[in-house]
Amino acid sequence: MRVDKKRFIYLISPNKINKSFYNNLKIILSSNLVSFFQLRLKKNSLIEKKKIGIKIKKICKKYKVKLIINDDPNLAKKIGADGCHLGQNDMVIQEARKILRKKIIGITCHNSKKLIRRAVKDGANYIAIGAFFKSKTKKINYFAKPSLISWVKRLTKLPLVIIGGITYKNFRKLLLHKPDFLAISGGIWNKKPAKTIKEFL
């Protein structure tokens, strides 16, 4: 899993896919700032997510962006995504690995050193920690301090994704701590996405 320092954004989908989404996605990915796109839809049916995922996969392939499916290794396999992201309440990584084989599996570790160590031991391909700021996208139960970034970087060479309330107003502060990727959702989608992405250049 190669880390491209220029493409530091790990983009997460909005909660709802509207008519303007696909065009906005193309514009955002054309910025050459995005390495990963995670499809995270909690309220859509499996059929809807599969249909949306296949369409997004074509766009991601065009712009050489890895497609990650949230929560569901089986769906990731069905649509031929590049991997899956698992939360602490989702399928355990050992079971997901049986389904996805050598594909990417990322793990949410919140602000827990114990969970980070476990993810490393279990063979995760990347680790996600946070939140670092308040977020309107989802309820925040855990907050992480920048010092945890340094701790993770000393522990492992696995790519580190940091998440939680990241916007164009605060992202530069976090980059100073040298995480590999910044996971952003509402910080791009909540306003005018095609315009907002330029603020990260």
Q: Read out DSSP for 74-91?
A: HHHHHHT-SEEEE-TTS-
> Is 56 inside a domain boundary?
yes
> Is 1 inside a domain boundary?
no
**Residue owning tokens 């309330």:** 165
> Is 3 inside a domain boundary?
no
Q: What is the C-alpha to C-alpha distance for residues 154 and 115, in angstroms, rounded to an integer?
A: 16
8 A C-beta contact, residue 89 and residue 56: no
> Is 13 inside a domain boundary?
yes
Q: Is 1 exposed, middle or buried (0-12, 13-18, 19+ CB in 10 A)?
A: middle
> Is 2 inside a domain boundary?
no
CA 81 to centroid of chain Cα atoms: 13
Enclosing domain of residue 100: 9-200
> Is 186 inside a domain boundary?
yes
Q: What is the pLDDT along the chain (201 residues), one digit of tens a residue?
A: 544 558 999 999 999 999 999 999 999 999 999 999 999 999 999 999 999 999 999 999 999 999 999 999 999 999 999 999 999 999 999 999 999 999 999 999 999 999 999 999 999 999 999 999 988 777 788 999 999 999 999 999 999 999 999 999 999 999 999 999 999 999 999 999 999 999 999
> Is 152 inside a domain boundary?
yes
The three-state secondary structure class of 45 is coil
Count of the separate structural domains present in the chain: 1
Domain of 157: which CATH number?
A: 3.20.20.70
> Is 4 inside a domain boundary?
no
